[in-house]
Amino acid sequence: MTERVFLDYAATAPLLPQVRELLESNSVYKLGNPSTLYSEGRQARQALEQARSSLAGVVSCAAHDLYFCSGGTEAAGTLVEGIARGALEKSGKKTARMHIVCAAFEHPAVLQSVLSLKRLGYEISLLRSGKDGRIAPERLEAALRADTLMVVIMLAQNELGTVQDIACLTRLAHGVGAFFVCDCVQGLTKLPIVLTNLAVDAAFFSSHKIGGPFGIGAFYLRPSVPFLPRQLGGGQEQKLRSGTQNVPGALGFALAAELETARMQRGEQNRQGFLRDNLLKQLTQESSRIRATVSIARTNTSTHLPGHLHVLVQDIESQTMILKLDEMGFAVSGGAACSSNTLEPSHVLTSMGVSRDDAYGALRVSLGGSTSPDDCDRFATALLSLLEVSH
């Protein structure tokens, strides 16, 4: 039997073998509660702080500005709501900045959190991207107001793979005194993330997207930003996120971040970019029904994630393709993992002006460290043969 080919790293990257080994080791099993005073607890605290320092090294920020939580979704809600509530409390509602700008293509974890702030009286401006899947600085500039509290725009778009110029967008937000919150879930270890250069006020990351364990993530928050914690309790994580920390998870997350960063530094970006470019070429040359959703400048990681390909396929629905390809041994997605159970076209595609008909044929292929040239060739052959049959 031929091996299955996994091409949905943007949904979840398979656990790295070294991380699995660590999680199964005795040293992790023996850890106590990091808030306790005896030696098992102190060892756990030490391990937790080592994980924090190592992750802070990967994203270039101070370790004490990084907080562990359960993942990207929790981090998004915690930051967006925490900053909005914190600012409201600080202002005593007299001089409240009551406006938020958010990219229309944000992940639902962010979008729903932002939209829920209407309840608190916030006015929300949703910013559409251009056909290139990127937010033009002029669009943000036009949306900013004197009372804009925060701007929320992600680093790398999870369906399209497009990368935003966050440093530039942050400068514009800061120009009117607004805070900048950045979802870095898809960018972590695929792009060099230097938080000090990006100058964002808050950012967040998720472990399972980079080959770390599920159920662990982290957020960065600049200390001067007003913030009210959402999860109250024992005051862990400097009172910003209560709850006993997932120490094995944090260790696995930090190890995955280090390993994947080292892999990137050894030229993995170029390798994946090359595979992705070849795959796109093969698909579009051999079928006129397939086109790239956004044009991709060859292996340019400042505008596009290296191993990420999003295409629109004519006259066939995403779900049909995904299920048929699954039967043929390939795991790919129609866009975001969490919306792949719905029959509605992706909000990301419709917000950038893709017609509903075209959006129904969306397919996302995301490569990772174990993807080989043969995997890509076999996938291309499978998709092309499927399209021949379906015509």
Nearer to ligand PLP, 154 or 178 (CB): 154
Nearer to ligand PLP, 363 or 380 (CB): 363
Q: Of 103 and 283, which CB lies nearer to ligand PLP in the complex structure? A: 103
Please name which of 124, 164, 150 lies closest in space to residue 301, comparing C-alpha atoms. Answer: 164
Nearer to ligand PLP (CB atom), residue 66 or residue 98: 66
Q: For 163-299, list the strands marked E by DSSP.
A: 179-183, 202-206, 217-221, 290-292
Nearest approach, Cβ of 217 to ligand PLP (angstroms)?
Answer: 5
How far is the C-alpha of 149 from the C-alpha of 143, rounded, in Å? 12
Nearest to 51 by CA among 202, 258, 192, 213: 258
Token reading at 238: 């400097």
The residues of the shown chain that bind ligand PLP, judged by CB under 6 A, are: 71-73, 76, 107, 109, 154, 158, 183, 185-186, 206, 217, 337
Instruction: Give least dist CB 109 to ligand PLP, A.
Output: 5
| Cβ–Cβ < 8 Å for 376, 280 | no
Smallest gap from Cβ 1 to ligand PLP, in A, equals: 30
The CB-nearest residue to ligand PLP is 72
Q: Does 182 qualify as catalytic in the annotation?
A: no
Catalytic residue among 102, 168, 184, 338: 338
How, if at all, do strands 66-69 and 217-221 pair? Answer: antiparallel
Q: Which CB sits closer to ligand PLP, 113 or 170?
A: 113
- In angstroms, the Cα distances linking 108 to 81, 257, 258, 276, 311 are 14, 24, 28, 26, 21
CB of 102 to ligand PLP, least distance (A): 13
- The whole-angstrom separation of Cα 5 and Cα 325 is 10
Closest CB 357 distance from ligand PLP, rounded Å: 25
Counting beta carbons within 10 angstroms of the beta carbon of residue 181, is it exposed (0 to 12), middle (13 to 18) or buried (19 or more)?
buried
Nearest CA among 77, 105, 24, 143 for reference residue 294: 105
Active site residues: 338
